[in-house]
Amino acid sequence: MVALLRAGRPRLRDHQPLLTSGYPIDLHTHSIASDGALTPTELIARAAERGVRIQALADHDTLLGVAEAVAEGERRGVRVIPATELNTESEWGDVHILAYFVDPKDDALEERLRWLRENRGRRIELMVEKLNALGYAVSLDRVREIAQGGSLGRPHLAQALFESGHVPTYDSAFDTLISKDSPAYVSRVGLAPLEAVALARTHGGVPSLAHPGTVVDVERLLPQLVPAGLVGMECYYASHTPAFTARCLRLSVRYGLVPTGGSDFHGRGEHGVDLGGVFVPPECIAALETHQARR
């Protein structure tokens, strides 16, 4: 649509702001520092071109991409908020905690994150072993190559399965082999949801519950996470229906949580939207900063 509009009105491009379909705030993005496809520089450049002005880099269990993203952000006029997404393992389903405003130079935090990354790596090794035992030949070296030194994750494994022809599409690797209850799945050894919130708070972070639609019973989990220091909830997310977004917003009012949002962009078409593809209200930034100031 945008391309068509641009093609039809080429002369306007020199005189009008760049026509983009992105919103200016995106508080949930990933780079190759974890399981995204773009370098932090490429990610921020793409975001800038789409009109994003405030962006959180929230790689899983790492802040190693932040410095590069901040540098590119300074060149491009994008404010980069340092963040990390902490996945957890519990009976509550996929509880992911986004920790905003953490310090990439916090050595004690980096030590905890390194422990989490090593666990991620061991889990992927075990999944490769399982796949090989099941007759899907995948090499750990190839998975590491795809990760390009980033924190290993299932998207890298899915890519390896897809390119070796074991599955017809990237997504079908998840659907048939490596999602929970699939034959090659190995559960994570890691933080419980409360521990993730506590880890963020201990290190001066501002925690928000990511994509609450993947939580088994968010109404029952929130009364535990809020007293532990949860500050926000990702009410704005591409796969949420309007009804679910409204439900999240009601819950955030009830628990005094800041509604956050983002694309969860990884760069391979996951989650269906590009950078800046989800509306996030501008006032949420100041609200998160208030909590940062209180720490």
Residues at the interface with Zn ion (CB under 5 A): 85, 96, 210, 264
Specify the residue, 138 or 158, whose C-beta has the smaller distance to Zn ion: 158
Which CB sits closer to Zn ion, 208 or 252? Answer: 208
Nearer to Zn ion, 96 or 166 (CB): 96
Q: Would you say 265 and 37 are in contact if contact means Cβ atoms under 8 Å apart? A: no
State the Rg of the chain over Cα: 19
> With respect to Zn ion, which residue has the nearer C-beta, 60 or 166?
60
Structure tokens at 99: 């920790």
The nearest distance, CB 211 to Zn ion, in angstroms, is: 6
CB 281 within 8 A of CB 269: no
Measured between alpha carbons, how far is 44 from 231 in angstroms, rounded to an integer? 26
- Residue 210 CB, nearest distance to Zn ion (Å)? 5
- The bridge status of strand 232-237 relative to strand 258-262 is parallel
Q: Give the nearer residue to Zn ion in terms of CB position, either 138 or 284.
A: 284
Residue reference for tokens 């490769």:
128
Amino acid at 25: I
Residue 168 DSSP label: S
Residue 132 or 214 with smaller CB distance to Zn ion: 214
Q: CB of 41: closest distance to Zn ion in angstroms?
A: 19
Two tokens at 11? 């002369």
Q: How far apart are CA 283 and CA 24, in angstroms?
A: 12
CB of 202 to Zn ion, least distance (A): 21
Q: Cα 225 to chain center, whole Å?
A: 19
Other Cβ atoms less than 10 A from the Cβ of 123: the count is: 21
State the minimum distance, in angstroms, from the CB of residue 85 to Zn ion: 5
Q: Which residue number has the CB closest to Zn ion?
A: 96
3-state class (DSSP) for residue 273: coil
Least separation in angstroms between residue 49's CB and Zn ion is: 21
